[in-house]
Chain A
Amino acid sequence: MKFNRRSLLRGSCQGALAVMGLPFLDCFLNSKGQAQATGRPLPTRFNTFFWGCGLTAQLWIPKTAGTGYEMTVQLKPLEPYRKKLNVFSGLRVPLDSKPNGQHWSGLAAAITGIAPFRAAEFESKTIDQQVAEVISKGVRFRSVAAASSGNSRQSYSSLGGSNLLPAEPTPLSLYTRLFGPGFQDPTKGDWKPDPRIMMQKSVLSAVADDRQRLMRNLGASDRARMDQYFSSVRQTELQMEAELQRPSIAAKVSIPEAPSKDLVANSAWPNLQVVTPLMARLGAIALATDQTRVFNLSVSEPQNQMFVPGDPLGFHQSTHEEPVDPKLGYQPRVAQYNLESMELFAAFLKELDTIPEGDGTLLDHSVVMAFTDQAYARIHSVDGLPILVAGGASGRLKTGNHVAGDNSTVSRVGLTLQKALGVAVDSWGQDSLQVRTPYTELLA
């Protein structure tokens, strides 16, 4: 008898079926550690990281392009991940005749490829949802969002319009969603399908024959209508199917204890320093245990309210109120907040990079798109929006580059990442943001 990671030991016990799961064994991986022994590659994940109010151009843009660039002051926290990082500078955000929705147009263009007509609205699904359609089949959560500054509306994940997929606002709520009721630890040997899910699935299966019979007796328009209806039913079935199978994992992780409910999640820098890495860790474990393949982490709203105790202004207010130091040529306090934002991004990457998986780390099998809303927050400028991308997409994305301004639009990054993640897309974006050519030099 041949076993695989989904095999269950079956038997009967006092006339009832008894099922026992198997622990995760090395024999489930192939000899190179690059794929599971079933031949399926390790899943590639897509993550986003959002921080508001951008960076300071003089301090983050490397002077030279390519792989040999000198790490700049504001990218310094990312130095440990330099070889796994791509830095994009000089990206344009043409708005055509649409308004510059302050603190919105830039971020919306970066993650939808479309300049929005209105602030707080997206013109399409955000990139994480477009990617999730392709890579999240067969996992428990299509995507998960978390906001380390404690506001569930600080989510930049949307199905379009003003809809926002709410973010988990505290470490405990994120933990509970990921590892609370309904979660079964796939790293443990006693994993078994949830009987409630089995019951629901069996109900759906039972009506399958009738469903087919019904469809045969309908006219074209009714059939189309029923098709739509059954599509959503089918989605539910797939979701259940996923939950009835032990998640496919290759990482060596253990599920941590629930975080304390006393942890305060807000915009105070000391709190962000604690909560952001914790949420990043929980997200990383969720990715590693294949609970989800899309994790979105935000550390602020676009009008970044991060503040250091004692600073009456905080980040966003400083971008407006702090004068430019004529000698330095930039706003010094804003520059410090920029740097701290990059430290939070580095904390996220650290959590992904410390989880071994196959022949590398979880970060190697991921793409992390870090984006913001402003190129120069003082004047609400969007041209020159900084975008940072980490992770090699399981070898499909070349890293270690500074891709310097070549007049590309910000949407070119999004198209490239989708190509690397296997999304079948020929062009992405609308109007002047529509692009057909990815950064082919970055695609392996």
Chain B
Amino acid sequence: MFNCTRKVCCIAVMAAAGAHTAAAAHWVKGYVVGFYEPAFRYGGRADFSRGTEIEPGVDCPHGSTIHFAVPAQVAKSLLLVPWRTKEEVEAIANPPADGLNRDPAGVYFHTWRAASAYRGYNRDIETYINPFAAEDPGQPEVTSRIGEGFNLDGKIKPGDFVSPDGEEGIDNELYRAWGCDAPWRGANSNGTLVLRSNDKMLEGLYTIVIRVSGNKDPMNDDEATLEIGYSPDQIMKDARGNVGSDYSYRILQSEQYTKLKARVKDGVVETEQADIHMPQIAWFYNQLRDAFFREGKIRVIVNSDGTVAGLVGGYRDWRDLYAQNVYAQSGGVQGVREHEDHVALYYALRRHADGMLNTKTGRYDGISCAYRMKLTPAFVVDPDKPMAIPSRESEARGKEGYDATMAAMIKAAETLVPQEVPPASRELAATDGIEIGPGGVPIRGRGRKRAADGKAQGSSAHSDPQ
């Protein structure tokens, strides 16, 4: 009798607690982003090997980009430059790099990166800042119909992607424009810049956290809230080097923070469509800034294997995307090393821009895009007192250089008047590639000297209207 009474009491208490949870209990779930990459869907076979080529696939029938990979490709790009002679192009594409005594710094690399930076309609125009002044060398586009992202415009258009789950109308034109770009393409997120940017995030370059909360059932709550933002706390790793679970992270209500209304249905969190501010992908400090998604959305899904996946999408300003990819180092350095051509990427962005209509120009300034995230459970808390995103004094100059270079590029794109390379810009690392020294190496510092001279004289040498 006694036992029975106690059981009844327990059941009664549990029922009361359960009813309370389902009805009105405040609940909070936190996550730290442990992996963050563009939602580019690889269409090749992961087990395929043909030498060291990346396999063509349903996404990219001609494989990944091979810009600056071989002399023939370099020659093809440089022959588009009106002031280059065939002989000059041939010499640059095939620098004398044989034998045991060549310059140890890498003849091809220095020659090609220098030449790649000056492809304008006249020889003084730096074309990573003024890409409009160069001919489009061509960027292979994704041809697959399957793509990840959101239906941002609410329409189902003929060219839209279909999600892997069968949802139609997916807007992800960034994937179409850049999905074949070598450093971002690879099986199992194996693209060089995908791995690199995530490695830097795990090293402590930046941290993103998400906090979802509500007052109903965590599995079904139509009045939930999702916050996303920068955390000043570095990602904690476990003994195997993986992102550790259940550590505490502060979330800063900074310029990289957004609070959104969300709906939770059967455990899937989906936010309202609104502007989203959150950190953008970075692999250098100077890239750290707001990834501003216009009319964006976030989805968080707990997978059947217990892992948690996130997807954020929206329209991003193509100029932010271009600068993010080019100016961390310099266009030539990254282009030659990663087999991408930023002039081609520029034209691809402009071709596929599909949002943020600029009424002045009549053109779109934004491009639809989506980014995948892998989330690890964490305790996301507010800081004791409001604080700004910490800055690194030692890298302030690099950031200034990035900002100045980006500002010059935006001005160039708006006015179509070629802009000079700003003094702190990393684009000064490349010479104009005209003078080829012994061993095929361009004479270093020429570009830097010229820019400095021009500034000292107060000249604005590059004002040729298009």
Q: Decide if A276 is an interface residue (CB 8 Å cutoff).
A: no
Bound CA–CA A380/B51 (angstroms): 24
- The answer, among A92, A268, A326, for a CB contact under 8 Å with B48, is A326
- One digit per residue, 1 when the CB lies within 8 angstroms of any chain A CB and 0 when it does not, for chain B 317-342 equals 00000000000000000001111000
The answer to whether B106 and A99 have CB atoms under 8 Å apart is no
Please give the number of chain B residues whose Cβ is less than 8 angstroms from any Cβ of chain A in the complex.
50
The answer to whether A97 and B105 have CB atoms under 8 Å apart is no
- The answer, among A90, A270, A380, for a CB contact under 8 Å with B100, is A270
Name A304's closest neighbour in chain B (CB-CB): B104
Residue among B52, B55, B285, B394 facing the most chain A CB atoms (10 A cut-off): B52
Name B63's closest neighbour in chain A (CB-CB): A323
The answer to whether A118 and B394 have CB atoms under 8 Å apart is yes
Q: Decide if B12 is an interface residue (CB 8 Å cutoff).
A: no
Give A308 Cβ to nearest chain B Cβ, in Å.
10
Chain A residues in 8 Å Cβ range of B100: 264, 266, 268, 270-271, 309
Q: Decide if B203 is an interface residue (CB 8 Å cutoff).
A: yes
The answer to whether B99 and A322 have CB atoms under 8 Å apart is no
Q: Decide if B434 is an interface residue (CB 8 Å cutoff).
A: no
Query: A97-B390, A264-B101, A267-B104 in contact; A326/B203 too (CB < 8 A)?
Result: no
Chain B residues in 8 Å Cβ range of A381: 196, 199
- One digit per residue, 1 when the CB lies within 8 angstroms of any chain A CB and 0 when it does not, for chain B 55-91 equals 1000000001000010000000000000000000000
- The answer, among B45, B46, B107, B195, for a CB contact under 8 Å with A378, is B195
Q: Decide if B187 is an interface residue (CB 8 Å cutoff).
A: yes
Bound CA–CA A90/B242 (angstroms): 13
Give A75 Cβ to nearest chain B Cβ, in Å.
21
Instruction: Give chain B interface residues in 272-300, CB to chain A under 8 Å.
Output: 285
The answer to whether A266 and B192 have CB atoms under 8 Å apart is no
Bound CA–CA A297/B82 (angstroms): 49
Q: Decide if A85 is an interface residue (CB 8 Å cutoff).
A: no
Report 6 cross-chain contacts, Cβ distance below 8 Å, ordered by A residue: A99-B285, A99-B392, A325-B49, A326-B54, A328-B49, A333-B52
Q: Decide if B414 is an interface residue (CB 8 Å cutoff).
A: no
Bound CA–CA A412/B317 (angstroms): 47
- The answer, among A266, A305, A321, A326, for a CB contact under 8 Å with B55, is A326
The answer to whether A305 and B205 have CB atoms under 8 Å apart is no
- One digit per residue, 1 when the CB lies within 8 angstroms of any chain B CB and 0 when it does not, for chain A 331-348 equals 111000000000000000
In order of increasing CB-CB distance, the 9 nearest A-B pairs are A327-B49, A379-B196, A320-B337, A268-B100, A267-B104, A305-B104, A407-B239, A379-B195, A381-B199
Chain B residues in 8 Å Cβ range of A268: 99-102
The answer to whether B48 and A321 have CB atoms under 8 Å apart is no
Bound CA–CA A327/B55 (angstroms): 11
Chain B residues in 8 Å Cβ range of A326: 44-49, 54-55, 187
Instruction: Give chain B interface residues in 372-394, CB to chain A under 8 Å.
Output: 390, 392, 394
- The answer, among B51, B69, B98, for a CB contact under 8 Å with A321, is B69
Q: Known pairs A100-B203, A314-B106. 11 more at Cβ < 8 A?
A: A97-B392, A100-B200, A266-B104, A268-B100, A309-B100, A310-B98, A312-B108, A325-B51, A331-B52, A382-B203, A384-B241
Residues of A within 8 A of B (CB): 90, 92, 94-97, 99-100, 117-118, 149-151, 264, 266-268, 270-271, 305, 307, 309-310, 312-314, 316-317, 320-328, 331-333, 376, 378-384, 406-407
Chain A residues in 8 Å Cβ range of B46: 326
Chain A residues in 8 Å Cβ range of B266: none
Give B341 Cβ to nearest chain A Cβ, in Å.
14
Secondary structure of the B contact surface, majority rule:
loop
Name B190's closest neighbour in chain A (CB-CB): A324
Secondary structure of the A contact surface, majority rule:
loop
Chain B residues in 8 Å Cβ range of A314: 106
Chain B residues in 8 Å Cβ range of A267: 104
The answer to whether A383 and B203 have CB atoms under 8 Å apart is yes
Instruction: Give chain B interface residues in 200-223, CB to chain A under 8 Å.
Output: 200, 202-205
Instruction: Give chain B interface residues in 172-189, CB to chain A under 8 Å.
Output: 182, 186-187
Query: A97-B390, A317-B109, A378-B192 in contact; A149/B99 too (CB < 8 A)?
Result: no
Q: Decide if B254 is an interface residue (CB 8 Å cutoff).
A: no
Q: Decide if B53 is an interface residue (CB 8 Å cutoff).
A: yes
Bound CA–CA A326/B204 (angstroms): 29
Chain A residues in 8 Å Cβ range of B190: 324
Bound CA–CA A383/B241 (angstroms): 8
Bound CA–CA A268/B103 (angstroms): 10
Bound CA–CA A309/B99 (angstroms): 6
Bound CA–CA A322/B160 (angstroms): 33
The answer to whether B52 and A322 have CB atoms under 8 Å apart is yes
Give B97 Cβ to nearest chain A Cβ, in Å.
6
Bound CA–CA A97/B102 (angstroms): 39
Chain B residues in 8 Å Cβ range of A383: 199, 202-203, 241
Bound CA–CA A406/B241 (angstroms): 10
Q: Decide if B234 is an interface residue (CB 8 Å cutoff).
A: yes
Chain A residues in 8 Å Cβ range of B98: 309-310
Bound CA–CA A313/B106 (angstroms): 7
Bound CA–CA A327/B239 (angstroms): 28
The answer to whether B106 and A320 have CB atoms under 8 Å apart is no
Query: A97-B234, A97-B390, A317-B337 in contact; A325/B52 too (CB < 8 A)?
Result: yes
Bound CA–CA A328/B285 (angstroms): 33
Name A266's closest neighbour in chain B (CB-CB): B104
Q: Decide if B400 is an interface residue (CB 8 Å cutoff).
A: no
The answer to whether A320 and B192 have CB atoms under 8 Å apart is yes
Give B395 Cβ to nearest chain A Cβ, in Å.
6
Give B260 Cβ to nearest chain A Cβ, in Å.
29
Bound CA–CA A267/B52 (angstroms): 24
Chain B residues in 8 Å Cβ range of A327: 47-49
The answer to whether A99 and B395 have CB atoms under 8 Å apart is yes
Bound CA–CA A117/B152 (angstroms): 43
Chain A residues in 8 Å Cβ range of B392: 97, 99
The answer to whether A321 and B337 have CB atoms under 8 Å apart is yes
Give B279 Cβ to nearest chain A Cβ, in Å.
15
Chain B residues in 8 Å Cβ range of A90: 241
The answer to whether B199 and A380 have CB atoms under 8 Å apart is yes
Give B60 Cβ to nearest chain A Cβ, in Å.
13
- The answer, among A117, A317, A320, A323, for a CB contact under 8 Å with B108, is A317
Name B197's closest neighbour in chain A (CB-CB): A379
Name B285's closest neighbour in chain A (CB-CB): A99
Chain B residues in 8 Å Cβ range of A95: 203-204
Bound CA–CA A406/B44 (angstroms): 36
Bound CA–CA A312/B69 (angstroms): 10
Chain B residues in 8 Å Cβ range of A317: 106, 108-109, 337
Bound CA–CA A136/B338 (angstroms): 46
Bound CA–CA A376/B239 (angstroms): 19
- The answer, among A96, A151, A323, A406, for a CB contact under 8 Å with B204, is A96
